[in-house]
């Protein structure tokens, strides 16, 4: 049976404590907003997962409805939607993102 796309999204979010849905990949972002978000996320120094929505059209169509958030990138930390590029950059500038990433990475580090 084909997994329902909403279930697929829920699984991805549950399996990856720090997950960004983006256009492109961290090494080759396909839009300026994704590039900015990745820069901030990478600067936090912890591992994170990503899903390239350009390679996953079903997710690209469904995630905005599921998340009630219309744009990409979308950063999910510990199962919660943090937000998009503006929120990520704002949190990074005021140090919140670094703290949240560190705490989350610490919480899940034995789950490898």
pLDDT at 60: 97
Report whether 4 belongs to an annotated binding site. Answer: no
| Helix boundaries (H) for 16-109 | 32-43, 57-67, 85-93, 96-108
Rounded CA gap, 46 and 108, in Å?
A: 11
- Give pLDDT tens digits for 79-110: 999 999 999 999 999 999 999 999 999 999 87
pLDDT at 67: 97
What superfamily does domain 5-107 belong to in CATH?
A: Glutaredoxin (3.40.30.10)
* pTM assigned to the model: 0.94
Q: What kind and span of H or E run contains 25?
A: strand 24-25
Report whether 44 belongs to an annotated binding site. Answer: no
Q: What kind and span of H or E run contains 13?
A: helix 5-15
Rounded CA gap, 78 and 10, in Å?
A: 12
75, 88 in Cβ contact below 8 A?
A: yes
Report whether 86 belongs to an annotated binding site. Answer: yes
Asked whether the predicted pLDDT for residue 2 surpasses 70, the reply is no
Report whether 31 belongs to an annotated binding site. Answer: yes
- Give pLDDT tens digits for 30-81: 999 999 999 999 999 999 999 999 999 999 999 999 999 999 999 999 999 9
pLDDT at 1: 43
88, 41 in Cβ contact below 8 A?
A: yes
Where in the chain are the domains? 5-107
Asked whether the predicted pLDDT for residue 23 surpasses 60, the reply is yes
Which of 53, 79, 57 minimizes the C-alpha distance to 67?
Answer: 79
């Amino acid at each position: 049976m084909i997994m329902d796309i909403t279930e697929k999204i829920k699984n991805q979010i549950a399996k990856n404590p720090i997950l960004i849905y983006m256009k492109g990949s961290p090494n080759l972002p396909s839009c300026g907003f994704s590039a900015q978000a990745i820069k901030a996320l990478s600067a936090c120094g912890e591992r994170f997962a990503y899903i390239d929505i350009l390679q996953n059209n079903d997710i690209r169509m469904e995630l905005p409805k599921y998340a009630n958030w219309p744009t990409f990138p979308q950063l999910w930390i510990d199962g919660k939607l943090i937000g998009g590029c503006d929120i990520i950059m704002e949190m990074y500038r005021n140090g919140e993102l670094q703290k949240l990433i560190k705490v989350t990475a610490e919480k899940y580090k034995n789950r490898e």
